[in-house]
Chains A and B, each alone.
Chain A
Amino acid sequence: MLADYLQGTVPQLVERARLLKGKIPRGLPRDYEALIKTCHDELDNIIARLRELQAGAAAASLAVRHAKLRQFKRAVADLDTVETRAIAALHRVHDDDHHANRLLYRICQEIAYPALPPTVSTLSSGYFYIDPRLNLLFIPPAEGSFLLHLPDLYHELAHPLLAQKDHPVLDRLSQRFLEVTAEIHDYFANQRAKETPRRGPQGFKDQIDIWEIVWTKWWLVEFFCDLYAVFTLGPAFAWSHFHLFMKMGKDPYEMPTPFRPATHPADDARMRALLVALRASGFDPEANTIAARWTDALTLANAAPSPNYSFCYPEKLIGQMVAKAREGVAEMGCRMAGHSTVEPIHLLLNEAWGRFWSDPSNYHQWEKAAVAQLRTLCNSDSPM
């Protein structure tokens, strides 16, 4: 059956991939060259894989047919991703995208970003996110007209750094990431060892297993991206986290359960890591101010940590993680934010939060002028 099915469907999918190549608009600005090349490369790769699937399918063993079906599904999913993300973004290029691309390019220059800057699209349907394979970053359509969430661009920039392999510079961050992974395993192994002689409730031991999995599968990536952002931008990123929590945050002490594994670490744990990082960067006064506001925010949220919260997010592990991430970012040669950092976008995004708190009622007016200034800066050819 599989051979007949592939016989009928593969040519159709190959045609779809070819059609998509033809849909890539011409005459786009240089900002899109990298994404256009990625689309062509991906589509060529998908076409080749699909054609390979047809070969020998009829006489294949059961194991091969199983493998071919999985390969087929992956090729279809890849085609879907290129079509609905990359080609869609290229098809709907807008002036706001150009500005966002120029802004991101400037940011990458400022922080000595060690990889190819991603292409930006303002087509996001869900806040900020990046596809590291396509190197395509999505932001909401109006985000370029405001400043307070732009620090999240720095977080997204970190994702591709952890996704690439065999890169002499990026491997330095991955190495630190793996060292923290080993520390996480050690920590939870110790917790398990402590529990075993006590013959504590099985539920708690199961919890330890869940914590270990979510830490190494989901949370560490998010923590590292947060830390990359705070080490390269400084306090503005911690404020941005505060802002997002105030607008959309749920339980700041959320704990994973077997039925709800919690893909993101608890907002409070993330803020604790950011504050440790800020202090390690010499931003002690700023960290104290943010910590005070954060305490107020937690009080307002009227939430309390569960008794196991400190076992799941231990202070020591957070401290080790921050130290390793800092080493990794510095070893990649990225510009580390500090009080002496003078690049314009760094200054503007940090100043925005200063203005927001010092004169909240007039902030909106100030921001309008600042955004116009930022657009002028990004449009200019002047060196940073």
Chain B
Amino acid sequence: MSEPGLYTHLYAQLRYCGELIDRVIVDFETTGGSAARKQREDLSQLLRALQTSPASDLDATLLANVLRETKAASGANWAEVADAIDQGKMSGGILDRLEELARALETQRADMHARIHGAYAR
């Protein structure tokens, strides 16, 4: 009912999506994509939903909103990014797209955390 509750609800989603992307980035860069297989599958599925039908998945809906609000990664073809993740062929361009999305999510997550805990008090 109150603001902290609503922020907390959204926070959990932002945190989950950000963590998922970063796990995949770190895995690809450090092991060539051999360790985080489940996360890779989850992320490619999520990005396909984002490209084709964001309203079919709660997290894809969130990503679509974050991208619209921040205007990040405009014009990105998320199905292509998903294909690259599935095939384990992460070019620099694909990595840039993922990083841009991860940055947008992190900015909103940090903002939400600050709101939940009573702004930026020190």
Chain A residue nearest to B15 (CB atoms) is: A74
**What distance in Å separates the Cβ of B104 from its nearest Cβ neighbour in chain A?**
11
Interface size on A, residues (CB 8 A): 51
Q: Most chain-A Cβ atoms within 10 A of its Cβ — which of B18, B25, B62?
A: B25
Secondary structure at the A interface, as helix, strand, loop or mixed, is helix
| Residues of chain B lying within 8 A (CB to CB) of residue A184 | 55
**What distance in Å separates the Cβ of A81 from its nearest Cβ neighbour in chain B?**
8
Chain B residue nearest to A128 (CB atoms) is: B1
What bracket does the count of chain B residues touching chain A fall in?
35 or more
| Residues of chain B lying within 8 A (CB to CB) of residue A163 | 9, 12-13
Tell me if A73 and B110 are in contact (CB < 8 A): yes
The reply to whether the CB of B38 lies closer than 8 angstroms to some CB of chain A is no
A71 and B19 in contact, given A162-B9, A213-B69 (Cβ under 8 angstroms): yes
Give a binary string over A69-87; 1 marks a CB under 8 Å from any B CB, 0 the rest. 0110110011011001000
A63 and B99 in contact, given A74-B15, A128-B5, A155-B1 (Cβ under 8 angstroms): yes
The reply to whether the CB of A295 lies closer than 8 angstroms to some CB of chain B is no
| Residues of chain A lying within 8 A (CB to CB) of residue B54 | 185
Tell me if B8 and A222 are in contact (CB < 8 A): no
Tell me if B30 and A60 are in contact (CB < 8 A): yes
The reply to whether the CB of A116 lies closer than 8 angstroms to some CB of chain B is no
**What distance in Å separates the Cβ of A62 from its nearest Cβ neighbour in chain B?**
9
Residues 4-26 (chain B) with a chain A CB within 8 angstroms:
4-10, 12-13, 15, 18-19, 21-22, 25-26
The reply to whether the CB of A159 lies closer than 8 angstroms to some CB of chain B is yes
**What distance in Å separates the Cβ of A97 from its nearest Cβ neighbour in chain B?**
18
Identify which of A12-20, A174-182, A315-323, A361-369 touches chain B: A174-182
Residues 55-108 (chain B) with a chain A CB within 8 angstroms:
55-58, 61-62, 65, 68-69, 95, 99, 102-103, 106
Chain A residue nearest to B24 (CB atoms) is: A67
Chain A residue nearest to B92 (CB atoms) is: A63
The reply to whether the CB of A167 lies closer than 8 angstroms to some CB of chain B is no
Tell me if B8 and A64 are in contact (CB < 8 A): no
Identify which of A100-108, A129-137, A325-333 touches chain B: A129-137
**What distance in Å separates the Cβ of B54 from its nearest Cβ neighbour in chain A?**
8
| Residues of chain A lying within 8 A (CB to CB) of residue B26 | 64, 67-68, 71
A63 and B68 in contact, given A71-B22, A128-B2, A156-B5 (Cβ under 8 angstroms): no
Chain A residue nearest to B12 (CB atoms) is: A133
| Residues of chain A lying within 8 A (CB to CB) of residue B116 | 81
Taking a contact as CB atoms closer than 8 A, the residue among B3, B7, B18, B56 that contacts A70 in the complex is B18
Tell me if A130 and B5 are in contact (CB < 8 A): yes
| Residues of chain A lying within 8 A (CB to CB) of residue B15 | 74, 77-78
Give me the 10 closest cross-chain CB pairs, A-B, nearest first: A129-B5, A127-B2, A182-B55, A67-B22, A181-B55, A129-B4, A217-B65, A67-B25, A64-B29, A129-B2
**A: which residues have CB within 8 A of B?**
56, 60-61, 63-64, 66-68, 70-71, 73-74, 77-78, 80-81, 84, 125-133, 138, 152, 155-156, 159, 162-163, 174, 177-178, 181-182, 184-185, 209, 213, 216-218, 221-222, 225, 244, 263-264
Give 24 A-B contacts (CB < 8 Å), ordered by A residue. A60-B29, A64-B25, A66-B99, A67-B22, A67-B25, A67-B26, A70-B18, A70-B22, A74-B15, A77-B109, A81-B117, A125-B118, A129-B1, A129-B3, A132-B8, A133-B8, A155-B1, A162-B9, A174-B58, A177-B58, A218-B10, A222-B6, A225-B1, A264-B3
- Known contacts A129-B6, A138-B4; 11 additional CB pairs below 8 A are A60-B29, A64-B29, A67-B22, A77-B109, A129-B5, A177-B58, A178-B58, A182-B55, A213-B69, A221-B6, A221-B10
**B: which residues have CB within 8 A of A?**
1-10, 12-13, 15, 18-19, 21-22, 25-26, 29-30, 54-58, 61-62, 65, 68-69, 95, 99, 102-103, 106, 109-110, 113, 116-118
